[in-house]
Structure 1
């Protein structure tokens, strides 16, 4: 196997952004198997069957790359002049270049350039043809935005590129808003007297309002994106049907204007059978998504019909929104087709798999269009109620989507099929992890001008004051596992990180939104350096920051600090799992820090108060308090590596919203956190 073909295979893989080797969590070098390299190359679109195919394919790859006059994307940072490299055949190394930059605002700038006067930065001979690499300076002072550069060469050749004019750093608040704290609870777990067996957008608004009354600036929750809650059925918030649409499961149905206008809907909700079923769902300790969604849908279908069939301002508003959001209409038609076949798109008849055609019931499509409009309204109203003072909503953007969802159907060419993103083996998962969703194609999303990424970010950032980027290392590289293989047989593929940071920083400023990168696990140092360079907050999670000798590392200023995450046991469970000797050392250390005066009563509660005081007084820019920690919950919301055999993503909080907001003990603790946030750390 160590033949010329194998050497060329590695070069071919490298030219496509595939890493030949990586360092595992123990620092040991792991080299990719030839079979894995070829499988990923095929998934990327390279027709390789055996290593001996690599030399010819590599030659074709070199010709393809050098024949491309320019890259499809160039970043123009605010603070430095930008240059666009041009690859020119030697016979075209002179003459006039016509360049037009179509700005996002509709205006344009024209450039006329003598190719022979541009600086030479390199050259190459490829397949018997000589090329020269020259550097085209872009105009300084481009307004922030996404601009289109069109190039006309002397030989009649044309090329285009997306110019991303962006701030180098994501948006950050200033002054008193620079030291933040907030609360966290999954929305499905947040029940109230009015909610239907799980929390809704109105409950989230009430929790945020209560948090702000106590001095906090934000409330966080898990992803709120569209989900399959019938057939197919997938409740994980990290496997959404789409990252562009909301989950109608969280609608406050009775708050919709159509509910007050529909006698049929009110009669249905007030009927004995409906109320009996609602009481049963409320009594259950776990959220029953399937039956809960069916109950909601019976009412929502009546409301959708009320809106579509009744002329007036609401119908006009829906029609206006529909015209302004053509992708929503495609999404609604997609969901109607899913319901017709009771399957994701990969099981549909072949003509429907292209991302263009649908074959669903028009009434079902109108229902889905209505609930998306209604959800968008309620999320917008929630954000607008709290757009003054603080950051409001802290939302979560998953790294992936459901493999049979809308996004992979509609934007199929942007995703790499026949592979799954995942993680290599580590001490917790000997076989690695196969996450089950297709990753984005690095080159094709560049050719798309990052339109899909921009849309995903805009969907969240127009409402959120803070956004968590799940698995932020995915901006740099992802671990890809060929279909049918284990997590041991994956390889890493690189992404154009600086271009993606440019999109993120630009959208962050437009939404005035803080960006948090989930950098837990084996994130390389280069990832955290890039996050710091571009103004993203990193995550400080207490269990990962404990040091030998019974102490915790101090949170850095550019961090969001917390005691745990949704993928970890709550604090009380973690505390109980640590050896008694270690617990005593930690308590003694907290006393030394002035965060604990005495341990009276429950040791876990004393430790909780001590560590929250430590984090609140730290210089960390943000502190998020998991409400379940405050009453010493021990059951996690998710057990990684398990599925529906565990109560993942379904466990309701022990206390309802009214119990939480009326608790004097919780209010006193959060008031202390607020005082420490205002007084401690570095300004």
Structure 2
């Protein structure tokens, strides 16, 4: 019946669901009733089927108006601030007591007569009249996260105030200095001394070499903790945690204990282990499971040895005291190993977050604490080196976390565990995409004051001079796929974008981190407008522009953008160029010739690649990122979206090792030219 559909649409709107959306082809798609009901259930709406919609709608309206104030309020610097109060009409003219607890510790208290404020809205719910009034907050508010407590007879509520600058951090020389750097996944970066894959020492070598050529940054894929045994999930975009690092990338030679721990040194020198290391090194693909098992043998010995070295043990314990979540994470990982099961299969008490002695082996807990401390030490040293010649490391914050991951267990109210994130059907993925990790719950994260989201940002920003925000559209809305439904049947769910932007702006200033939003594909205009308003850099990936090539050439990169020829989800430039249609190849070739980047129009792969890279280097884009593998015209991609067993995603090592490619005359000459163009005059 129509009234039932109307009620369902109204309930969906209250919960932030889009009942229709436009697909990649611009066609309007209607979301099915089944998908709406399933998504509402995933959000916690009180319904089991269509017949429950009227009661759920009534209850939702009632809860909306009985919520005295929103749990989060944004206070943009330089703008008036108020808290919106929803009150029964008989209380709307009361005096309220207000207490504002500033993040740094001071407190302000005052009373206010609500009779002075005119109502801005109102309604009647179940014979009770309600009014909305906007309670002003006095004075200039310092930047930070503050708590405002409001009490009156029979009512009390509180709201976290995010007092933030309206714009994200921008370097002081942002308008005069154009940066450049190189990019390579750390697992693919190999050296003569690497084991199963590249490690932090290899990344440091790449950084120093890039800085020596005049570059400012080195970028890589997420370096976050991963499940590399059971379960096995090496994808950097489905980490075991967004709050801890992956010990797979530790540089063992930089660990002080290795020089003193004789059992570890003996094991490392043993013929058996050296044979395993050689096999891992020579393999064309990264073997994460075997590589981690070999490295862990050494790390476990060092973890035990460290307890007997007073200075280092004191440093470890000091770090644990300053990072209490590390112990919780270590016990979580240790419990998984003892139980031989993911947390959703644990006994009830442990499932509910309570771990006790006996649930895990103390030696395993210590191992995970020790390796996280080492990872922090090594990444911190690397980031300090990176900041000597520019903004620092370019790190990547993935959108989600593995369903069996630490945070989904510990912060479960922050997640909608009965849904997955994904993408609707498009030309490349006609069935849609299911990324198989749970989305953040829009209200769950607000009720916890965005605690988890803030922690993930801080974990990255303390080391990153530039931070890429994966799928930046997720600040506004995410495509949810309720459990049991196909990806094509998903629903867009809205988030409080303003609150995300306030947190991003505040944290970026505190850490002096430049933000880059991954805004590729079908992006609503209002998303890019918001990015521009808050000074979050866009991504300008040339092949996306070439596909819509106008007569005068591809669109020029915006000044506030990161420019590149591709991403980790795309074919390298050589493969892209060989697959591009003749019309577009001719168009870009002629464009490069007109601009002086080619001596004559040509379809020659190497010449066009150099011309495209020089075009971006001379542009006004303030950051240029060069994919190292493009420099020797690699054709194999690192990842093919939508594939699992069909292609070895996240496993392919670079064809050339760091000792080789850093000495290639052609590579050196081209990057020197890129540096000259970046330091020179901007060419329109």
Fold in common (TM above 0.5) = yes
Aligned-residue offset at 1:599? 7.3
**How is 1:599-618 mapped onto 2 (pairs within 5 angstroms)?**
603-618=604-619
CA distance in 1, matches of 2:587, 2:3: 59
State the match for 2:631 in structure 1: 630
Q: Deviations over 1:45-95 (max 9, x none)?
A: 113122221111111111111111100000111121111111111111223
State the match for 2:88 in structure 1: 89
Q: Deviations over 1:124-156 (max 9, x none)?
A: 111111011111112332111101111111x14
Q: Deviations over 1:250-291 (max 9, x none)?
A: 000121011112011111111111111111111111011010
The SS at the match of 1:112 is strand
The SS at the match of 2:667 is helix
Aligned-residue offset at 1:548? 4.9
State the match for 2:50 in structure 1: 51
The SS at the match of 1:313 is helix
The SS at the match of 2:204 is helix
CA distance in 2, matches of 1:580, 1:4: 54
Aligned-residue offset at 1:659? 1.3
Aligned-residue offset at 1:178? 3.6
State the match for 1:12 in structure 2: 11
CA distance in 2, matches of 1:393, 1:492: 33
**How is 1:634-673 mapped onto 2 (pairs within 5 angstroms)?**
634-673=635-674
CA distance in 2, matches of 1:79, 1:595: 46
Aligned-residue offset at 1:561? 0.6
Aligned-residue offset at 1:19? 1.0
State the match for 2:385 in structure 1: 385
Aligned-residue offset at 1:549? 5.0
Q: Deviations over 1:309-364 (max 9, x none)?
A: x1411000100111111111010000011111222211222221113326211110
Change (3 A) 1:490 1:579: closer
CA distance in 1, matches of 2:64, 2:586: 61
Query: What is the TM-score when the length of structure 1 is the normalising length?
Result: 0.97
The SS at the match of 1:552 is coil
CA distance in 1, matches of 2:427, 2:466: 32
The SS at the match of 2:162 is strand
- Unmatched segments (≥5 aa) in structure 2: none
Q: Deviations over 1:582-609 (max 9, x none)?
A: 4233222201011122579x91110111
Q: Deviations over 1:385-426 (max 9, x none)?
A: 222231110000000110011010010111001111111111
Bigger mean CA offset, 643-652 vs 519-528: 643-652
State the match for 2:524 in structure 1: 524
CA contact (8 A) 2:424 2:432 kept: yes
CA contact (8 A) 2:216 2:390 kept: yes
CA distance in 2, matches of 1:619, 1:271: 54
The SS at the match of 2:480 is strand
Q: Residue 216 in 1 paired to residue 189 in 2?
A: no
State the match for 2:347 in structure 1: 349
Bigger mean CA offset, 578-587 vs 624-633: 578-587
The SS at the match of 1:556 is coil
CA contact (8 A) 2:387 2:393 kept: no
- Unmatched segments (≥5 aa) in structure 1: none
CA distance in 2, matches of 1:76, 1:682: 40
Query: What is the TM-score when the length of structure 2 is the normalising length?
Result: 0.97
State the match for 2:436 in structure 1: 436
CA contact (8 A) 1:424 1:490 kept: yes
Q: Residue 264 in 1 paired to residue 263 in 2?
A: yes
CA distance in 1, matches of 2:466, 2:660: 27
State the match for 2:168 in structure 1: 170
Q: Deviations over 1:200-223 (max 9, x none)?
A: 111111211111111111110000
Q: How many residues align?
A: 679
State the match for 2:199 in structure 1: 200
State the match for 1:332 in structure 2: 330
CA distance in 1, matches of 2:582, 2:70: 59
Bigger mean CA offset, 235-244 vs 168-177: 168-177
CA contact (8 A) 1:87 1:134 kept: yes
Paired residue for 2:590, among 588, 591, 601?
A: 588
State the match for 1:74 in structure 2: 73
Aligned-residue offset at 1:305? 0.4
CA distance in 2, matches of 1:112, 1:96: 7
Aligned-residue offset at 1:551? 2.9
CA distance in 2, matches of 1:207, 1:640: 27
CA contact (8 A) 2:149 2:159 kept: yes
State the match for 2:35 in structure 1: 36
Bigger mean CA offset, 624-633 vs 417-426: 417-426
The SS at the match of 2:478 is strand
CA contact (8 A) 1:6 1:52 kept: no
State the match for 2:292 in structure 1: 293
Bigger mean CA offset, 25-34 vs 246-255: 25-34
**How is 1:454-493 mapped onto 2 (pairs within 5 angstroms)?**
454-493=454-493
State the match for 1:316 in structure 2: 314
The SS at the match of 1:242 is coil
CA distance in 2, matches of 1:632, 1:430: 30
CA distance in 2, matches of 1:170, 1:136: 27
Aligned-residue offset at 1:682? 7.7
Paired residue for 1:572, among 567, 571, 574?
A: 574
**How is 1:76-155 mapped onto 2 (pairs within 5 angstroms)?**
76-153=75-152, 155=153
CA contact (8 A) 1:355 1:411 kept: no
Aligned-residue offset at 1:105? 0.6
Measured on the aligned residues, the alpha-carbon RMSD in Å equals: 1.5
The SS at the match of 1:189 is coil
Aligned-residue offset at 1:197? 2.4
